Amino acid sequence: MSQSLAYFRGQIVPIEQANVNVMTHALHYGTAVFEGIRGNWSDSEERMFVYRMREHYIRLLLGCRMLMMDIGKTADELCDITENLIKACGYKQDLYIRPLAYKSEELIANLKLQDLSSDFTLIMVPFGAYLESDGALNCCTSSWRRIDDTIIPPRVKISGHYVNSILAKTEATLAGFDEAIMLTPDGFVSEGSGENLFMINDGKLVIPPVSDNNLTGITRDSAITIAKEDLGMEVLERRIRRSELYFADEVFLTGTAAHIQAVGRLDSRNIADGETGEYTSAINEIYQKAIRGENPKYRGWCTEVSVS
């Protein structure tokens, strides 16, 4: 039988016991770093396939470095904690795994990171589709610009800067769109509110550089690898103008939560025929098998966890 548990203050406890004090610094100031990791259940193999877990924890620790947090654990140790919690919870379905490193000091009115203690917690919940669309997404260009690296570095998942994404996502959904596409302060394409962006023209994959205020996406990296190695596509990393998306053959978004999702419309204009394109479909088909351990070539992307 499955149960809701958390790793909290060094031990596995019922999730209702994983509580922090209202004075906790991260609660007030967003001084935390998180990750989103997918656990993909395979009925045929009766085990969980955790997608690129170690890479997620390497990125988490880079974020910890930025916020001067020492959680006293290596990426491999964090992977072990995650595997143990998966086994303890006993879920036999797809999971969203949320590690969080945070400034745990019960202290306000102190903005000096070096003075503040840190801790690590981990939860996981059953999770299905992130983007609520049966087909290609209907998106808009957000009026909210992507936060610049000189303000808060977006290449890691610092909790406080996600207010920027939340404002964009809220604006888009209240206006009837599925997702927001965000621009850099100087007007170039950055990414979605929670996904990296790709454009395809003449069989070439074009992506904005990470230096345009983008997350160093792990699913982004997977899509690039599949496009190059399996489909033989040329991959170009360069700045993209907003209007280029209107004229693209295909546009799609990638993220651990979102997987790979086509964009069919942007700002009330169809992208090509408004449907999921040929290359997007091909990349997604390979990716979907890879994350469940069904593609031998990419089996190394997954950590296999047996659940009794």
What are the catalytic residues?
A: 157
Q: What residue type is assigned to position 177 of the chain?
A: F
Which H or E run contains 123?
strand 118-126
- Please choose, from the candidates 269, 236, 277, 228, the residue with its C-alpha nearest in 3D space to the C-alpha of residue 253: 277
As a whole number of angstroms, the distance between CA 103 and CA 136 comes to: 39
> How big is the chain, counted in residues?
308
Strands 259-266 and 250-255: antiparallel
What are the residues whose beta carbons fall under 8 Å from the beta carbon of 62, sequence distance 6 or more?
156
Structure tokens at 247: 């004229």
**What sign does the CA torsion over 264, 269, 270, 271 have?**
negative
Backbone phi, then psi, for 142, in 5-degree steps?
-75, 145
Q: What residue type is assigned to position 289 of the chain?
A: K
What are the residues whose beta carbons fall under 8 Å from the beta carbon of 106, sequence distance 6 or more?
21, 23, 24, 25
Strands 259-266 and 137-141: parallel
Taking residue 217's Cβ as centre, other Cβ atoms within 10 Å add up to 22
Q: What residue type is assigned to position 135 of the chain?
A: G
Residue 58, classed as helix, strand or coil, is: helix
